[in-house]
Amino acid sequence: MVSPAETKSLPVPWPEDAEIQVHIGGCHCKKIRYEFEYPNIYALPVINCNCTICEIRGHLNVFTPENRFKFTSGSADDLTTYEFGDRLLSHRFCSTCGTAIGVLFHHPQRGFVAINTRTIDGIDLSRLQLRKVDGRSFNVGKKLNENAGKT
* CATH assignment at residue 37: 2.170.150.70
Tens digit of pLDDT for each residue in 69-91?
999 999 999 999 998 877 778 88
pTM above 0.75, yes or no: yes
Nearest-CA neighbor of 105 among 97, 117, 115, 120? 115
Residue 94 domain boundaries:
4-147
Contact criterion met (CB below 8 Å) for 95 and 48 = no
What's the domain count of the chain? 1
Q: What is the pLDDT of residues 83-114, one digit of tens each?
A: 887 777 888 999 999 999 998 776 644 788 89
